[in-house]
Amino acid sequence: MISILILTKNEEQDLPGCLESVKWCDDIHLYDSFSDDRTVEIATAAGAVITQRKFDNWSAHQNWGLANIPFKYPWVLYIDADERVSESLYQSLMDFEPGTNNVVAYEIQRRDFAWNDTWLKHAQMSPFYLRLFRPEKMRYERLVNPVSIPDGDVGRLPGFLDHHPFSKGLKYWVKRHLDYADMEAKMRLEDMGKGTNFSLKKALFSKDFTEKRYHQKGLFYKLPGRPFIKWLYMVVGRRAFLDGSAGVTYATLQAIYEYFIVLKTNEIQSAVKKTAVKAEA
């Protein structure tokens, strides 16, 4: 069998649907950041095991959870409250047999859906995520949008993990991405300060999707005009227009998010310069 890990913070709206999609599991763990709504109550009623920890950043929070939560089974499926295990993924999980190979984690294809339940098939930037793994063989890096680092080989599991990022409305999405932009800007400046090198070869040709995405992000942050480049890449390169108005709207929102990161990076750099000037005065 497989254990389930759900990360939450005030998810009373989305959690019931998430729990319904994993009700077949007898070891569901809710890893909560001290919600002040009915999240814990809903999870407790569903028979989930509750673990609470104050959130600091994504990688530290997730790494702590994998190291300290007492999972019943050796394999863990990690999902968010706004995600659902589809029927196709359910069947794959029921048939899952890890075997004796060196695979320690499995990629699962995620389907992002827009407001009108349109699958953003072309607009979606990253379709595969390492979500089924042995917890002792997995760790995370980066403050936000963490990179999954498996200690072993990676396989791919059939089926879809369905994601509804706009379930709480546009205002919530924008607010959340403003917070993400803060952390992305801090990481960008940290990489600049450390002189971190990113590989074009790995960004283009790495067979490890996680490694490929990491180097793509690092190189992308060095480009001028990133918001427009991202919009152009999504709409034209990935053909987001084939997803209709939902695809173009999503591409535009992603470009705006990129601009948030640019603005926040400039804001932090300006504050550092002002502090330095005052210190010299």
Mean pLDDT of 3-17: 98
- Write the pLDDT tens digit of every residue in 51-91: 999 999 999 999 999 999 999 999 999 999 999 999 999 99
Residue 111 has pLDDT above 70, yes or no: yes
Neighbours of 48 (CB within 10 A): 23
- Write the pLDDT tens digit of every residue in 244-276: 999 999 999 999 999 999 999 889 988 888 887
Mean pLDDT of 5-22: 98
Name every residue whose Cβ is closer than 8 Å to that of residue 61 and which is 6 or more positions away in sequence.
7, 33, 53, 55
Q: How far apart are CA 153 and CA 103, in angstroms?
A: 4
- What is the predicted pLDDT for the residue at 250? 96
**Domain edges within the chain:** 3-163, 170-280
The class that CATH gives domain 3-163 is: alpha beta
- Write the pLDDT tens digit of every residue in 195-232: 677 787 777 777 766 677 677 767 777 778 889 999 99
- What is the predicted pLDDT for the residue at 267? 93
Name every residue whose Cβ is closer than 8 Å to that of residue 203 and which is 6 or more positions away in sequence.
212, 215, 216, 218, 219
- What is the predicted pLDDT for the residue at 67? 97
Q: What is the pTM of this model?
A: 0.86
Q: How many CA atoms lie within 13 A of 32 on its CB side?
A: 23
Judged by DSSP in three states, 1 sits in coil
- DSSP strand pairing (49-52 vs 28-32): parallel
Structure tokens at 226: 């990133």
